A and B are shown apart, each in its own frame.
Chain A
Amino acid sequence: MTSASTNDIEFRSVAKRYGSVTAVSDINFAVPKGAFMALLGPSGCGKTTCLRMIGGFEQPSEGTVYISGEAMNGVAAYRRPVNMVFQQYALFPHLDVEQNVSYGLRQMRPRIAGAEITRRAQEALEMVRLGGFGKRRIHEMSGGQQQRVALARAIVNKPKVLLLDEPLAALDKKLRTAMQIELQTLQRELGITFVLVTHDQEEALSMSDFVCVMNAGRIVQVGPPQEIYDRPASLFVADFVGKTNRIAATVDNGGASLVFADGTRIASPATATPSAGSAMVALRPEAISLKRNGAAGTAALSGTVTHRIFLGSSVEYSVDVDGLGDFLVTADRRALGDSDLVEPGDKVGLAFDPNALHVFPA
């Protein structure tokens, strides 16, 4: 683990229990200064609990949370150098937009002059492109605008760390994509550390420098997005991050080959030598290419196309593979000529590089 001074956030053996229920345990991770970290996991995995322990709304039952190298045990939320963008924003309904944004500035001691407060609040509003909206009431703002107000309110105090709790969950898809880019830009401009909680793997992968995947109160993998996607540490990660096909198999030949449930024998991926016994193999849908029956090739498996889902830039096929059940296959349209589009009912062969297989103990 790197030294405290280069990390803005560090969890050391943190656990949180509510009565007899353990929300999270054995949490260890560090967020380097200026990094964008995403806590990703299904609902109830403990990611929000972790975020709330950084914010100071929950205290760990065990272990220590460090902010900029300082232990935060027992430090109240209002004394912490972090600010949060709340889920559904938690904007003050009795204050206008500018008053919401300047709320944090007005809490500063020694007090800041009124003119300075107004100037900084305006500056923050400009940053989120809400320049002329200062006097609006909160209920007069759209969901996307409220999102920006919450963002401006959280960055106006220049926190060391910005916490974001499912900040884009309430927005429609187009707006969400636009905000993802804006958040990334904002983070680069401000140079402060961002910690994002999300259950949306696409959001986590697209915005963050590091992804911390959690499940059932524990961290299952920490790493850069590509690593998480390309080298999932467990079947859970492979399943949760992106789409995946699972194939039941047994490891044979001292780890050198895999035998699928239908009897197909395939060389183990070069990157790993799985231990003997039964295994679960994960294969990304885009790692598979479909070959029309009769075409010469090295198709390992064969099956029948059952569904075709046209997605514009890509096509998703559902293929019933003989002896192995349904497979999902994604084909990028650029890689296909129109004549290559196979139809439901077509017999196809499935080809893939054995190195694209991820083998996990079953």
Chain B
Amino acid sequence: MPVATNTKRNLVTAALVAPAAAWLMIFLVLPFIAMLVFAFGERAPEGGYQAAFTFAQFARLPTRAAAFWNTMVLAPVGALVCLLVAYPVAYYLAVKANPRYRLILVSLVVVPFWTSLLVRTYAWMYILGSRGIPNLLSMIGLEDVRLLNTPGAVLLGIVYGYLPLMIMPIYVSLEKLDRRLLEASADLGAKPVSTFFGVTLPLSLPGVMTGVALVTILLLGEYLIPQLLGGGKVFFIGNALVDLFLQSRNWPFGSAIAVTLVAVVVVILMVAMRIAFRVAGTRQVDLV
């Protein structure tokens, strides 16, 4: 290839990449660096940030152990429950559903996303609140059932809110699954259950891992659902951050928590992806 064409091609590539690169630089990398700097600083007397180099903020992390605990338990558990609900739905959509109605059914999964999560979570507040299900239960003699402001309510809200994000990647990986592999498995004497665990499930693992990683990561930063359905009793790191940045104006401590969270997310993501690629046994390019 002539040199001139090569240079031209590089320029085109640069031009195409530039907007995204600039965007990520300004709105992701620079803020993250700022946060990293803040995390090693001190709270100014009137609130905000004051330059310093100290690990004091990280030393105070245990005081927010409850928020970390809730996040670290409810995010993966939420993602797992999400997975258990989403897999059969995705399986039905991709494998069992009549292809003629498939598109309609898939869009039904996505439609709730068109309305605000805030509104939908408010609806759950009413359903779970004293005038909702507990009210109905009291009619049949079950008094004083508390649903709202419990970990269960937060879990329910999480699963409800993030279900489509779990269904879609699993649906995509199942939809790509070569049906002849299922026939080959049956041909070799595998009963339907063995075929599912021997072929279908392993080959849909990239989708499962993507879904779990996606939902878990988003849940780690979740703020709205614990706020509304946990009523300040079941709070996440997200709630702690809002509290620290907006209420007590302790930016360095908030930054330390946020940085720690990012570190945790990165580790989880790396481990999950490694497992997914190993199990699927295909090259990375095949999975995208």
Contact = CB atoms under 8 A, between A and B. Distances in A.
Contact of A157 (B180, B189, B279): B189
B72 interface: no
A83 B187 contact: yes
B203 A90 contact: no
For A82, A86, A91, A93, which residue has the most chain B Cβ atoms within 10 angstroms?
Answer: A93
Contacts, number: 74
B202 A94 contact: yes
A303 interface: no
Contacts of A55: 183, 187
B194 interface: yes
Contacts of B181: 90, 92
B6 to A, nearest CB: 31
A261 interface: no
A56 interface: yes
B240 interface: no
Nearest to A101: B188
A108 B181 CA distance: 18
Q: Binding site of B, secondary structure by majority: helix, strand, loop or mixed?
A: helix
Interface residues of A, number: 29
Contact of B183 (A77, A107, A139): A77
A306 to B, nearest CB: 46
A55 B180 CA distance: 12
Nearest to A84: B187
Interface in B203-252: 203
A193 to B, nearest CB: 16
B156 interface: no
A91 B282 CA distance: 13
B131 interface: no
B184 A84 contact: yes
B178 interface: yes
B115 to A, nearest CB: 39
B188 A139 contact: no
A153 interface: yes
A76 B282 contact: no
A93 B180 contact: no
A291 interface: no
Given A86-B180, A90-B180, A90-B181, A78 B187 contact: yes
A78 B193 CA distance: 12
B188 A157 contact: yes
24 contacts: A55-B187, A56-B186, A56-B187, A57-B186, A57-B187, A77-B186, A77-B187, A78-B186, A83-B187, A84-B184, A84-B187, A86-B180, A86-B183, A86-B187, A90-B183, A91-B184, A92-B181, A93-B203, A94-B199, A94-B202, A94-B280, A103-B198, A107-B189, A154-B187
Nearest 5 pairs of A and B residues by beta carbon = A104-B188, A107-B189, A90-B180, A77-B186, A90-B184
Interface of B: 178, 180-181, 183-192, 194, 198-199, 202-203, 279-283, 286
Interface of A: 55-57, 76-79, 82-84, 86-88, 90-96, 103-104, 107-108, 137, 139, 153-154, 157
